[in-house]
Amino acid sequence: MTFATSRPSRADQAGISFWLPGTFGSLAATPGQPGWALATMYMHTSVNAGGDVAASRAIRLGNTTTNLTVDLNAKLRARVDLIGVAPSYTFAEPVFGGQLALSMLAFVANTQDRIDALLTGALGPIGFSRSRSISDSLFSYGDLYPQATLKWNHGVHNTMVYGMANLPVGDYEPNRLTNIGLGHWSVDGGFGYTYFDQKAGNEFSFVTGLTYNFKNPDLQYKNGIDWHLDWGASKFLSKQIHVGLVGYAYQQLTADSGSGATLGDFESRVFAVGPQIGYLFPVGNMQGYLNLKGYGEFGARHRPEGFNVWLTFAISPSAAQHVAAKPVIRK
């Protein structure tokens, strides 16, 4: 199960991107058990950004540009608390020799943005300068995110391909500082690999992909193409508990465009690394899984930087011989 959402801690248009780094983690490419499953997730993020991102957020309030210039010493502070639910179905019949699974994520979020900036302007021939704070908050629903994965297992080697999209049905208003919805369509696809030696208890996974964004018609703004890499490595201390590290890299490859892209290319990047712990346990004849992971970001450019924490609970079908030996949810 994967999660993606709009948040004020990301890149591209006003500091927001479709792809949420950290969506994939350990055991990402391992096939699961056929049938219905359900994953729920809580995520908290707190970030700060400098003048370029703050200016981008401030001037894109609708189709007009404010007559006050946001000084590049402006600071953006953002916090998000999000709860997501993602039902999924894994097919028993092979597709191209692999295992097909479909899922759909829906979520609600509470987000808060604040910009502290030095505003400059002119009244006739007389110029002026003053400090000002702009803040906004919103608790509402987000876009929908359908996803398909196809996975293959070859002993300790597991591979996958995936595709997902953003359906822009969430709460979005171009004249607000804070939004939950993105306001535009996006598609994303890529591949992943997991090395999982059950006997030794060693695991390493990565998933990489590209995002293509369509134009936001309200702002006449089109995000560039984004590349992302999520990875996780862990050691099973027992058949139920594993610990390790997670991380991600995010790089915008092409420039933003459109008449609303008044700040130029605005290509962004960020990196992150942090710890994780996972716990597998039976829930009746199903398998339960809890995972806690956190990321500390660094190396950000044209993008807010901070930390985010994920807590995931998933329940899925379980074959008796795989309950403890082969986990099927990877968060």
* Region 248-253 average pLDDT: 94
Report residue 20 as tokens: 């949420």
Write the pLDDT tens digit of every residue in 291-307: 999 999 999 887 888 99
List, in sequence order, every residue forming a beta bridge with 40; answer none if it has no partner: 85, 313
- How many degrees, rounded to 5, is the angle at CA 139 between CA 17 and CA 69? 55
- Neighbouring residues of 127: CB distance < 8 A, sequence distance ≥ 6: 120, 121
Confidence class of residue 34 from pLDDT cuts 50, 70 and 90? very high
Tell me, what's the pLDDT at 80?
93
* Region 271-276 average pLDDT: 98
Mean pLDDT, rounded, of the chain = 83
Task: Look at residue 268 and tell me whether its pLDDT is greater than 70.
Answer: yes
Confidence class of residue 266 from pLDDT cuts 50, 70 and 90? low
Confidence class of residue 65 from pLDDT cuts 50, 70 and 90? very low
Distance in angstroms (rounded) separating the CA atoms of residues 157 and 328: 14
Distance in angstroms (rounded) separating the CA atoms of residues 147 and 134: 36
Least confident of 18-27, 38-47, 316-325: 316-325
Distance in angstroms (rounded) separating the CA atoms of residues 33 and 46: 36
Confidence class of residue 49 from pLDDT cuts 50, 70 and 90? confident
Write the pLDDT tens digit of every residue in 153-178: 999 999 999 999 999 999 999 888 88
Task: Look at residue 243 and tell me whether its pLDDT is greater than 80.
Answer: yes
Residue bearing the bigger pLDDT, 39 or 255: 39
- How many degrees, rounded to 5, is the angle at CA 163 between CA 161 and CA 165? 165
Confidence class of residue 3 from pLDDT cuts 50, 70 and 90? very low
Residue bearing the bigger pLDDT, 11 or 233: 233
Tell me, what's the pLDDT at 135?
85
Tell me, what's the pLDDT at 102?
98
Task: Look at residue 264 and tell me whether its pLDDT is greater than 60.
Answer: no
Cβ neighbours of 312 (radius 10 Å): 23
Residue with tokens 């390790």: 244
Task: Look at residue 245 and tell me whether its pLDDT is greater than 50.
Answer: yes
Write the pLDDT tens digit of every residue in 176-210: 888 899 999 999 999 999 999 999 999 999 999 99
Tell me, what's the pLDDT at 324?
40
Write the pLDDT tens digit of every residue in 95-128: 999 999 999 999 999 999 887 766 555 455 555 5
